[in-house]
């Protein structure tokens, strides 16, 4: 690997902030230098993962009301609200120049992010495989892709993040779920502004980051501009990423409706129709255990405090059918619970549907 080119393109339109790394990747030729792009959007927008279905993931009506554009990227993962609070750090490298295993590739990509945060006095660490954590809280996400002939890794320097709008733009089955997403983001995510009590200077942090990149990669970096050809291809990508056909694309085999907060924390919701009524379970799973649980629906359960008590009783359990059955059975016996048309097995069914 020779020197690494840096394209610090500053603030650009939301569409360009996504299109630029696709464009540089698609334009990559055998003699194109490995490239790091630093870019941010002038205005907020919502970005969805390659295989997501727009209508299932995003509250499209809300975004339209708020004039928030939505774009689909060619990198995986979930829907995310983005704005000036993040500087995207996009690596576009020749295939074979980054480590072949994803674990090592992410470790290399994340090292300068961790070192930058640490230099600022933030206690950040790599949380394998691809998260950066500050004492159990995630500070930005990362993703990897092959785009054209390039290996791409993307992430961000997380200056600030709008937790409320992140929870607001998602399409969720209930407002209860939205509240839980918001609470969990507050509890399990952080930013430079939160950690430091102020927002550090963007240019200083970017400079610091590039120095850490030189250290991690063992090469010098140099500032440059995209070539005419790269701009042309980026504009072509913009036409595609900005098209309705691309945005409304369907056909991915989506397997989960869980909302991932970070590597150990997921929010899930299930609905189960028991003879005595609908049971809706909204849970936060932390390392596979029920960390928080809300049960609702149109069933009847006596005594009146039993629902809250059952929520409490199930906390800390893993989603193991026998363990759940035993706990619910014990609970019914201990409190002499009455719930017409809803039995122990119905609760087990509803809870087991939470499995990610």
Partner 1 sequence: MVVYFGCDIPEDLYYHPKYDSWVRFEDDETATLGMTDIAQTQAGKLIHIRFKRPGRKIRAGKFAATIESGKWIGPFVVPFDAEILATNEETFKKDILIANKDPYGEGWLIKVRVLDPKHARDGLLTGQDAVAFFQKKIEENGIRCFRCVDEAEET
Binding site for partner 1 (CB under 8 A): 49-51, 74-76, 95, 99-102, 104, 106, 129-130, 143-146, 251-256
Tokens for 354, please give them.
């939470």
Closer residue to partner 1 in complex, CB, 240/333: 240
In angstroms, what is the minimal distance from the CB of 154 to partner 1? Answer: 11
Closer residue to partner 1 in complex, CB, 18/294: 18
Closer residue to partner 1 in complex, CB, 206/286: 286
In angstroms, what is the minimal distance from the CB of 280 to partner 1? Answer: 25
In angstroms, what is the minimal distance from the CB of 51 to partner 1? Answer: 4
Closer residue to partner 1 in complex, CB, 76/341: 76
Q: What span, in angstroms and rounded, lies between the C-alpha atoms of 269 and 250?
A: 23
Closer residue to partner 1 in complex, CB, 144/279: 144
CA dihedral 81, 82, 88, 94 (to 10 degrees): 50
Which residues are within 8 A (CB) of 86 and not within 5 positions of it... i.e. 6 or more apart? Answer: 40, 140, 156, 157, 158, 159, 160, 161
In angstroms, what is the minimal distance from the CB of 127 to partner 1? Answer: 13
In angstroms, what is the minimal distance from the CB of 235 to partner 1? Answer: 22
Closer residue to partner 1 in complex, CB, 76/303: 76
Task: Find the distance separating the first CA and the last CA of the chain, reported in whole Å.
Answer: 41
Closer residue to partner 1 in complex, CB, 111/193: 111
In angstroms, what is the minimal distance from the CB of 19 to partner 1? Answer: 17
In angstroms, what is the minimal distance from the CB of 143 to partner 1? Answer: 7
Closer residue to partner 1 in complex, CB, 101/318: 101
Closer residue to partner 1 in complex, CB, 102/334: 102
Tokens for 34, please give them.
């490995």
Query: Residue 36 burial by CB count (10 A; 0-12/13-18/19+): exposed, middle or buried?
Result: buried
Q: What span, in angstroms and rounded, lies between the C-alpha atoms of 255 and 257?
A: 7
In angstroms, what is the minimal distance from the CB of 179 to partner 1? Answer: 26
In angstroms, what is the minimal distance from the CB of 74 to partner 1? Answer: 7
């Amino acid at each position: 690997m020779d020197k690494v080119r840096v394209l610090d393109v500053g603030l650009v339109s939301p569409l360009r902030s996504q299109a630029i790394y696709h464009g540089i990747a698609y334009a990559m030729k055998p003699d194109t230098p490995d490239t790091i792009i630093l870019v941010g959007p002038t205005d907020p927008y919502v970005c969805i993962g390659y295989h997501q279905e727009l209508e299932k993931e995003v509250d499209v009506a809300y975004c339209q009301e708020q004039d928030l554009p939505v774009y689909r990227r060619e990198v995986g993962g979930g829907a995310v609200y983005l704005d000036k609070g993040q500087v995207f750090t996009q690596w576009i490298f020749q295939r074979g120049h980054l480590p072949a295993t994803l674990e090592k590739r992410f470790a290399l990509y994340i090292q300068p992010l961790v070192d930058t945060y640490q230099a600022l006095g933030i206690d950040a660490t790599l949380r394998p495989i691809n998260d950066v954590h500050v004492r159990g809280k995630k500070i930005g996400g990362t993703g990897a892709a092959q785009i054209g002939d390039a290996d791409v890794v993307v992430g961000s320097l997380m200056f600030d993040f709008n937790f409320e709008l992140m929870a607001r733009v998602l399409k969720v089955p209930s407002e209860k779920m939205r509240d839980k997403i918001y609470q969990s983001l507050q509890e399990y995510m952080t930013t430079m502004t939160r950690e430091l009590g102020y927002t550090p200077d963007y240019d200083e942090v970017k400079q610091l980051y590039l120095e850490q990149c030189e250290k991690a990669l063992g090469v010098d970096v140099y500032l440059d501009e995209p070539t005419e050809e790269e701009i042309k291809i980026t504009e072509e990508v913009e036409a595609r990423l900005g098209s309705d056909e691309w945005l409304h694309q369907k056909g991915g085999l989506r397997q989960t409706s869980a909302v991932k907060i970070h590597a150990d924390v997921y929010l899930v919701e299930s609905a189960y129709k028991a003879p005595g009524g609908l049971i809706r379970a909204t849970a936060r799973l932390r390392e596979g255990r029920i960390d928080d649980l809300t049960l609702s629906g149109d069933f009847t359960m006596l005594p009146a405090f039993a629902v809250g008590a059952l929520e409490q009783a199930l906390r800390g359990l893993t989603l193991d059918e026998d363990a759940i059955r035993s706990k619910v059975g014990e609970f019914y016996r201990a409190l002499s619970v009455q719930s017409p048309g809803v039995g122990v097995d119905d609760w087990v069914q509803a809870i087991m549907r939470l499995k990610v």
